[in-house]
């Protein structure tokens, strides 16, 4: 039996980023401030929060909803921020259903380093679309996750679906 390799070259920029000063910056603060939404994969902005595509996703369409304000936990949000966050989580799910037709979702937060937070100082909610059979032997045996679509393709599809959902609902 020979060793097989699956090249995941997209992971190296992430690994290198974590080892730099830029990797210590809060992406939920710096990326929205840059004003380059498409380049930074910011899908939607509202008054208090925004939706961003996870650059290192668990599954295609993996979104995150975060407040603009740098706060560590849900209980630190104002009432308006909390309402806006949940409105954007709902909008994320509607958009993902329209664009990708998932069979389910994982929605949750990792608050604090002990809970696995990658950016423990800035609360954010993950919205991960799921399909029956989207988990296979690769993560278990190969310690590798296969993501089946390119980020730019996913961004374009979700941006279109988001526009349609917003148009139908008359919302922002």
Q: Which residue ranges make up each domain of the chain?
A: 11-18+25-169
Say how far apart CA 127 and CA 51 lie, in whole Å: 10
| Pick from 133, 89, 93: nearest CA to 109 | 89
* pLDDT given at position 18: 58
106-153: per-residue pLDDT in tens?
Answer: 999 999 888 888 778 999 999 999 998 776 444 444 444 555 567 888
Say how far apart CA 132 and CA 171 lie, in whole Å: 31
| Residues with catalytic roles | 124
Check: pTM over 0.75? Answer yes or no. Answer: yes
Contact partners, residue 36, CB within 8 Å, separation at least 6: none
Say how far apart CA 153 and CA 42 lie, in whole Å: 14
Maximum Cα–Cα distance across the chain:
58
Domain 11-18+25-169 class? alpha beta
């Amino acid at each position: 039996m020979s060793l097989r390799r699956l090249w995941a070259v997209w992971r190296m920029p992430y690994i290198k980023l974590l080892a730099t000063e830029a990797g210590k910056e809060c992406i939920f603060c710096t990326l929205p401030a840059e004003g380059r939404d498409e380049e930074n994969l910011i899908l939607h902005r509202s008054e208090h929060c925004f939706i961003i595509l996870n650059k290192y996703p668990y599954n295609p369409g993996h979104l995150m909803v975060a407040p603009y304000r740098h706060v560590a936990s849900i209980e630190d949000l104002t009432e308006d921020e909390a309402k806006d966050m949940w409105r954007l989580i709902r909008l994320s799910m509607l958009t993902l259903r329209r664009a990708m037709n998932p069979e389910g979702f994982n929605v949750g937060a990792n608050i604090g380093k002990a809970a696995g937070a990658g950016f423990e100082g800035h609360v954010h909610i993950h919205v991960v679309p799921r399909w029956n059979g989207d988990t296979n032997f690769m993560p278990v045996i190969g310690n590798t996750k296969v993501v089946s679509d390119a980020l730019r393709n996913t961004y374009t599809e979700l941006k279109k679906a988001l526009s349609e959902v917003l148009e139908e609902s008359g919302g922002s």
